[in-house]
């Protein structure tokens, strides 16, 4: 499907998605948010992983304030919930999503990045939550997702003081799991996506769907959920084949990563 504000290309098992409002620094309007939801809810069944980035010099500069309309409280709640549904379609969608971050990752753009499962940032990335200085509050799920990455106190500091994190600082506090050279975020994210796509689908499903929910459960509930998911994944035919291959010496081994290596060999 052709989108107005988003590009989607399928290359074998990997979906390539890019925000396509470079003239607006990929600021999120309602049309783009709805297209993101549609794209992730309708990925073809053969897709095993997705990479999400932004065209131009920035990943996403946040909410398009030029389209910020006056809404009464009930309307504003519904608008925020529309964003929630779109970003839930990413976090709890059918495939793992690797975000390729560069330039501005601000406000709603940071909320979008936080909905992805793995984040790769290049040296140009920077992070901010300017909502506090603009008299508004996050509305795209950021108050739930971002503290899980960096903690409540760091998020509060960003919103109260306007603090901006550089790429290296962001990797250190948890905004990204990988930090690469300028211009390398997309290619590195693709490498990771291809590696993730080789995992057993049921294992990827458990990591995406069960793991974040286990983290929210009381310990005894989480342990029961873990036991159930462990039993389900182990019983899958593909898991049995992979374990047997390992026992037979044909499976990949975990090795110490080499200095400067992009990705450690898959287990």
SS3 236: coil
For residue 149, give every residue at least 6 positions away whose Cβ sits within 8 Å of its Cβ, in sequence order, or none.
114, 173, 174, 175
For residue 9, give every residue at least 6 positions away whose Cβ sits within 8 Å of its Cβ, in sequence order, or none.
15, 16
Dump the DSSP string for 171-221. Answer: HHHTS-SEEE-TT-HHHHHHHHHHHHHTS-HHHHHIIIIIHHHHHHS-HHH
Residue 262 is predicted with a pLDDT of: 47
Enumerate domains of the chain plus CATH numbers. 6-197 (3.90.226.10), 199-267 (1.10.12.10)
SS3 8: strand
The pTM is what? Answer: 0.91
Please count the CA atoms within 13 angstroms of the CA of 236 that sit on its side-chain side: 17
Beta-strand (E) ranges in the chain? 6-11, 14-19, 49-54, 97-101, 104-106, 118-122, 126-128, 165-166, 178-180
Each residue's pLDDT tens digit, 19-38: 999 999 999 999 999 999 99
Residue 98: both structure tokens together? 């690797």
Nearest to 189 by CA among 120, 112, 123, 125: 120
Beta-strand (E) ranges in 41-96? 49-54
Number of residues in the chain: 267
Residue 23 is predicted with a pLDDT of: 95
Known catalytic residues?
111, 131
Residue 260 is predicted with a pLDDT of: 52
Q: Which run of H or E residues covers position 70? A: none
Residue 266 is predicted with a pLDDT of: 36
- Positions of the chain with pLDDT under 50: 262-267
Q: How many whole angstroms separate alpha carbon 136 and alpha carbon 134? A: 6
Each residue's pLDDT tens digit, 80-105: 999 999 999 999 999 999 999 999 99
Q: How many whole angstroms separate alpha carbon 192 and alpha carbon 245? A: 23
Residue 18: both structure tokens together? 């890019």
């Amino acid at each position: 499907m052709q989108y107005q504000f988003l590009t989607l290309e399928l290359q074998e098992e990997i979906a390539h998605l890019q925000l396509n409002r470079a003239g607006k620094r990929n600021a999120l309007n309602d049309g783009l948010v709805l297209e993101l939801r549609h794209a992730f809810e309708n990925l073809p069944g053969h897709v095993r992983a997705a990479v999400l980035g932004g065209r131009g010099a920035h990943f996403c500069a946040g909410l398009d304030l030029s389209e910020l309309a006056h809404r009464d409280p009930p309307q504003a709640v519904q608008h925020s919930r529309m964003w929630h549904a779109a970003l839930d379609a990413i976090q709890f969608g059918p495939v793992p999503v690797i975000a390729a971050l560069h330039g501005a990752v601000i406000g709603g753009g940071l909320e979008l990045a936080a909905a992805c499962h793995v984040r790769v940032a290049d040296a140009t990335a920077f992070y901010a939550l300017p909502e506090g200085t603009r008299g508004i509050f996050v509305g795209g799920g950021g108050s739930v997702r971002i503290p899980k990455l960096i903690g409540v106190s760091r998020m509060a500091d960003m919103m109260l003081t306007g603090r901006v994190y550089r790429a290296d600082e962001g990797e250190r506090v948890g905004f990204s799991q990988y930090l690469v050279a300028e211009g390398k975020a997309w290619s590195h994210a693709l490498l990771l996506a291809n590696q993730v796509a080789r995992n057993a689908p049921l294992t990827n499903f458990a990591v995406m769907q069960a793991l974040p929910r286990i983290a929210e459960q009381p310990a005894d509930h989480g342990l029961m959920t873990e036991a159930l998911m462990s039993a389900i994944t182990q019983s899958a035919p593909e898991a049995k084949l992979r374990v047997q291959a390992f026992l037979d010496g044909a499976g990949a081994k975990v090795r110490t990563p080499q200095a400067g290596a992009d990705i450690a060999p898959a287990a």
